Amino acid sequence: MSVSSPLRTLEPLNRPSVADTVFDELHGQILLLELPPGTKMSEVEVAKALGVSRQPVRDAFYRLSKLGFLSIRPQRATLVSQISSTAVLQARFVRSAIEAETVRTACKVLTDDDLAALDAIIEKQRQAVESRDPVSFHGYDDQFHKEICERAGLGFAWDIIRENKAHMDRVRFLSLSFASQDAFGDHLEIMDALRARDEVQAVHHMREHLSRIKKQIVRIRADHERYFADETEA
């Protein structure tokens, strides 16, 4: 005997939802340092500024806190989190391990159409470098790495990376003021290795590319000390 379910069929859902839109807006402003580390955040004030109710803001705050962008302290102010050097280097380790294997697989399975799609992203990055547009460059940088994962049949790998790279993203964006040409050159080398189906060189160039941040963070922290958490031992 079947049991009828109390659940009703949902009406078609519109995406992005209000919460998604609020999340995207706040995520972008924090990433681009428009909301720098230490900024106080209020559900009421954000809801008023964006013209939405508090619930989608609360949902967005929670998602941002899970990424490491917000520090939510009950009964106290919610703050944009300071950048953790430890979290940046941990994210680099995770990315290096995952993306090395991703490009290894990509060398075996990418089609000519896949390579052409990646070349199109590279061309957009070239234009961003020439126009000195770090915001666009950062977006195409992420798109390049994401497309390699997805076109290699490893989209889940990018999901793991995305969940671990919030602190790294802010440092990467700050590095573009002096290192966008280096990042672009790295991508060209990765593309050459993918096109040649050279797994050894693809892995090598990806690891070298992701390791640059170990030196960059020293310079960035010296220039933006107030953005970083004090992680010295007591």
Q: What is the pLDDT of residues 115-156, one digit of tens each?
A: 999 999 999 999 999 999 999 999 999 999 999 999 999 999
Share of the chain above pLDDT 70, in %: 92
Share of the chain above pLDDT 90, in %: 76
Residue 5 has pLDDT above 70, yes or no: no
DSSP E strand boundaries for 37-108:
40-41, 70-71, 78-80
Residue 233 has pLDDT above 50, yes or no: no
Residue 219 has pLDDT above 60, yes or no: yes
pLDDT tens readout for residues 194-212: 999 999 999 999 999 999 9
- Which is more confidently placed, 97 or 77? 97
| pLDDT score, position 18 | 86
* Range of lowest pLDDT (14-18, 23-27, 94-98, 160-164): 14-18
Residue 2 has pLDDT above 50, yes or no: no
Fold of 85-227: Four Helix Bundle (Hemerythrin (Met), subunit A) (1.20.120)
Domain range annotation of the chain: 18-80, 85-227
| pLDDT score, position 184 | 97
Greatest extent of the chain over all pairs of C-alpha atoms, in Å: 70
**Which pTM was predicted?**
0.85
Our measurement of the distance from residue 130's CA atom to the centroid of its chain's CA atoms, rounded to an integer in Å, reads 23
Same topology between domain 18-80 and domain 85-227: no
Going by C-alpha positions, the residue among 145, 153, 134, 142 that lies closest to residue 33 is 134
| pLDDT score, position 8 | 52
Which residues fall within 8 angstroms of residue 223, CB to CB, at 6 or more apart?
174
Residue 91 CB neighbours (<10 A)? 24
- Which is more confidently placed, 16 or 25? 25
The CATH classification number of 18-80 equals: 1.10.10.10
Q: Which amino acid is at 176?
A: L
| pLDDT score, position 3 | 44
**Residue environment code for 124-139, b if the CB has 16+ CB neighbours within 10 A, otherwise e:** bbeebbeeebbeebbb
